[in-house]
Amino acid sequence: MTPDETDDHGPLRASLAEAARVPAMVEAHLPVIARVSALLAETLRRGDKLLACGNGGSAADAQHLTGEWVGRFVRDRRSYPAVALSADGPLLTAIANDYGYDEAFARQVRGLGAPGDLLVALSSSGNSGSIVCALAAAREVGL
């Protein structure tokens, strides 16, 4: 038998090894993280709104992000304008039914977005049609 066949903790060990690599990955991406942070902060300062979208787990992340903006994070403060474009199931499915799923977020960006707003589009693959179309709509609207 191989160690993997006898080690019931193999998956946990693999997850821990992956987690141990996270600090180095964050360090490698600090310039991008700083740029995104600056964009988020500037959006707040101007009083503009955050729109966020994603599919699957990324949709949950988008909802969590906007929840922190509208609710609070760490300490009590005023509410900031933010909308998770995946949060309204009936709206999302109506758009998908009438226009196709690629337009599910793009239609909302066109209807809710305004120049100065910021779209955070989350994707694990980077090539989801609905995310690509949402980003194109954001450019059209001037986000």
What is the span of the domain harbouring residue 92?
A: 47-143
Query: How is residue 120 written in tokens?
Result: 């955070």
Sheet holding 118-121, edge to edge: 82-84, 50-53, 118-121
CB within 8 Å of 57: residues ≥ 6 apart: 124
Whether 58 and 92 map to the same domain: the answer is yes
Whether 138 and 69 map to the same domain: the answer is yes
At residue 120, the pLDDT reads 97
Distance CA 97, CA 110 (A): 18
Whether 63 and 30 map to the same domain: the answer is no
What CATH number should be reported for the domain holding residue 100?
3.40.50.10490
Whether 30 and 78 map to the same domain: the answer is no
- pLDDT tens-digit readout, 104-123: 999 999 999 999 999 999 99
- pLDDT tens-digit readout, 34-62: 999 999 999 999 999 999 999 999 999 99
Whether 28 and 60 map to the same domain: the answer is no
Whether 14 and 61 map to the same domain: the answer is no
Whether 13 and 76 map to the same domain: the answer is no
Whether 52 and 37 map to the same domain: the answer is no
Residue 4: band (very low, low, confident or very high) from pLDDT cuts 50, 70, 90: low
Structural domains in the chain (count):
2
- pTM for the model stands at 0.84
Whether 66 and 126 map to the same domain: the answer is yes
